[in-house]
Amino acid sequence: MKGEIRRSVLAGSWYPGNAKTLRADIESYLRSVPEPKSTGREPVGLIAPHAGYMYSGQVAAHAYRQVTGHFYDAVVLIGPSHRSAFAGVSVYAHGGYETPLGVMPVDEELAADILAEGGAIQLLPQVQLSEHSLEIQVPFLQVVLEGVPFVPLMMGDQDEATCESLAAAIVRAASGRKLLLVGSSDLSHFHPYDRAVQLDGRAIKHFEKMDARGLLKDLGRGHCEACGGGPAAAVIFASKALGADRAAILNYANSGDVTGDRDSVVGYASAVFDRPASKTDSSEKPGRGKDGAGLTLKDKKTLLDIVRTTIECRLQSRPCPERPALSDVLKERRGAFVTLKKAGMLRGCIGYIQAVKPLHETVEEMAEAAAFRDPRFSPVRKNELQQMSVEISVLTPLREIHDVSEIEVGRHGIYIIRGGSSGLLLPQVAVEYGWDRETFLSETCHKAGLPTNAWRERQTRILIFSAEIFGREFWDAEDVV
């Protein structure tokens, strides 16, 4: 991961500091939300609260449940500043945000496109370091949209002009990308229960009507309260411009519903803004078959060299050399996994399921992750390299199926989703273990932490993909096998 990694300031207080506990808590919140009905629509924007999970985690889960099983190129996350006073909007444009679940990477290209719009939008990463309104959303995003990058934006000003200009910048930067917008906001603060419900009801009506200007006017007049009113308004403005034509209020509660103290409460709501689902997948390139990655022998050798040099440079504590001229295919956004084996045994395997970065960058990042950050193994040591083999799997876009007979063992990988749980197995895994189709499905359910027969149930979503798989049998070999 290049760039500055923002360390968590909330782990162990606002949410659990242990990765297993944190994931289990989020998945429990998500399981408590009814499965969204399949309506042929896709979420564009969400509003979710930003208090500690014990107070607002269940309300937030109603928002994030809406996007489970949907696929996005990136998330744009907008929150208010509680601790730093500054003008305009802060962009965190490099690196990522770290939580116990790992690092959620910044989509640096999208961040640069938003930042290029100028005006009130500024490169001010330092003001985000101690802020909670953005970080509190990240673990939910890491669970429901695993591997998807984001752009964290924090508003110092929340006036109408700033909200409109920020929304316009996001919409212009969205060209050619499928984005999810998230506005981080709590509602009224420290009123008696009944007064809070009255104030919050006014804000919620504006959410439901997608009335950003009405919301900002009522906030200015004191007719309602929302510490993230600006982020909510910006998300509404941008969602409408990106085709959202319907809103739904998903859940409302306040802290008094959790603690029983009704004398002084904080309000929380979740909402979704959606549009009719697109009928085409923009990630599929014209002229390319569903199973073909379009890689030449030279492309494959280049990617294998990237894996080798990335790991060797990290072990030698030196920067990687400049890359030679890259083909257009290697610059396309593609999902990919890098697998390392030592003496034929798995030594590390990590990848991006979705097309979040150019393929050459994905392979470079996943090579480093597989060698040094796979939690199942200790970091690779220099004296192991001569016993290592490398395998790269370049993925085609995910495709949902409703008949498991479409799965061809040896050709397809499987990605299973249910509630907040998901698991993926690459096509070659079934071949290596000699599994038939049903065993492959059962093992993918097991990987997701689900009962092995969960694939038979209607609530479980099954997606498949193909992969172009190639590698080197020995670390210093030149031939692609």
Q: What is the CATH number of domain 297-472?
A: 3.30.1490.150
pLDDT at 293 over 70: no
Mean pLDDT lowest among 204-208, 237-241, 455-459: 455-459
How many CB atoms sit inside 10 A of residue 422's CB? 24
How many CB atoms sit inside 10 A of residue 274's CB? 23
pLDDT at 268 over 60: yes
Residue type, 257: D
Task: Write down the pLDDT at residue 67.
Answer: 92
How much is the CA Rg of the chain, to the nearest whole Å?
Answer: 23
More confident residue, 157 or 321: 157
Residue-wise DSSP of 343-373: TTEEEEEEEESS--SBHHHHHHHHHHHHHHT
> Residues 33, 36, 42, CA angle at the centre, nearest 5°?
130
Distance CA 163, CA 229 (A): 10
Let me know if domain 5-276 sits in CATH 3.30.160.20: no
The structural domains of the chain, with segments of one domain joined by +, span 5-276, 297-472
Residue-wise DSSP of 274-295: EEEPPSS-TTSPTT--TT----
* Mean pLDDT of the region 341-356: 87
> Where do we find the tokens 């208090």?
51
> Where do we find the tokens 């008949």?
403
Distance CA 308, CA 295 (A): 19
| Positive or negative torsion for Cα 130, 132, 134, 138 | positive
Here the tokens at position 150 are: 């984001």
Task: Write down the pLDDT at residue 61.
Answer: 97
Task: Write down the pLDDT at residue 442.
Answer: 96
Using the CB atoms, write b or e for 24-60: b if 16+ within 10 Å. Answer: ebbbebbeebeebeeeebbbbbbbbbbbbbebbbbbb
pTM for the predicted model, two decimal places: 0.67
Given a contact cutoff of 8 angstroms between Cβ atoms, the answer to whether 151 and 114 are in contact is: yes
Percent of the chain with pLDDT over 70: 94
